[in-house]
Amino acid sequence: LSRPGDAGLDAMPCRVILLIVLLGLGAAAAQEPTADGDTNGDGVVDAAEERAQQQLHDSLVQAAALMEHGSATAKEAATEEIARMAIITTIDQPFHPVTYRNAAIKAGIVELLVALLSPTADATAAAQRNALAALEAIATDDPTTDLDNDHARYVCDAGAVQHVVRLLSSPQEQLQVQSAACAAILAESVPCQTALSAAKAEVPLVQLGTFGNDVAKLHALAALEQMALNNPLARERIAKGGGLEIDRDTPRYPEITRDYPRSPESRL
């Protein structure tokens, strides 16, 4: 590989390294991981587990370098694997969901993903789609507990909301769908819900819920339902935009709305 500062990092070695390091090391290191890094469930973070944690950190740092300095195709590969690992750790091994998310935050991954969403970023539509998927997965709370891990709030504090709202009106369907999915997850967090409403996300969400494809409509509806909770201003905007009609007319397809974590490859 080239040095991290080189702009021409090649995508194929990037993808191979990320697959081997991110997926391979975790699968070998973990059995029943916990958030504190205890991957074998014995209550002690031993040397092997510490090495696994360090390898995870190192792989994320490398992915960060690719997102910041890599070629367009390298950025696509890096964001795809970051998203894939965030999704996989939500539903399966190798790392506890909170462990991976905390490591991603510590490595500066969230800020780099947000930066790729900027209209001035040197990023393809595919890289932006992957970045949105990664932010959605990182913002998703640990499914094994009812506690709020504050990852969604961190994503919003990093500046994601303005870009997510803008991309709801993207001319590219893949970005509409993924930004709506990300908005739906962020809207589950009260601070993020407030930020989304401040950015008037209700307007493009209603538009997407009216004119988007079926998957985009369902994610938009999920976001609007969350934003309407205990928020009179949001309810007023949704009603004015015709959101109540969307709620009545949009069919429910559970297999394509909330099935995302069980089938990450279908949207990456």
Contact 156, 165 (CB under 8 A): no
Say if pTM beats, i.e. exceeds, 0.85: no
Q: Are 79 and 127 in contact (CB under 8 A)?
A: yes
Q: pLDDT tens digits, residue range 138-182?
A: 998 766 666 667 899 999 999 999 999 999 999 999 999 999 999
Share of the chain above pLDDT 70, in %: 68
The answer to whether 165 and 176 have CB atoms below 8 angstroms apart is no
- Cβ contact 71:8 at 8 Å: yes
**Least confident interval from 138-147, 210-219, 223-232, 248-257:** 248-257
* More confident site: 226 or 145: 226
Average pLDDT, the chain: 78
Structure confidence by residue, pLDDT tens digits, 56-92 = 888 899 999 999 999 999 999 999 999 998 888 777 6
Residue 262 has pLDDT above 70, yes or no: no
Cβ pair 161, 149 in contact under 8 A: no
108 backbone φψ class: left, alpha, beta (φ>0; ψ -120 to 50): left
Could you give the CA distance from residue 217 to residue 210 in angstroms, rounded to a whole number?
7
Tell me which of 48 and 6 has the higher pLDDT: 48
At 232 the pLDDT is 87
Confidence check: pLDDT of 20 > 80: no
> What percent of the chain has a predicted confidence (pLDDT) above 90?
50
The reported pLDDT for the residue numbered 3 is 43
Would you say residue 17 has pLDDT above 80?
Answer: no
So what's the pLDDT on residue 116? 97
pLDDT digits (tens, 9 = 90+) for 184-216: 999 999 999 999 999 999 999 999 999 999 999
Separation CA 31–CA 41 (nearest Å): 8
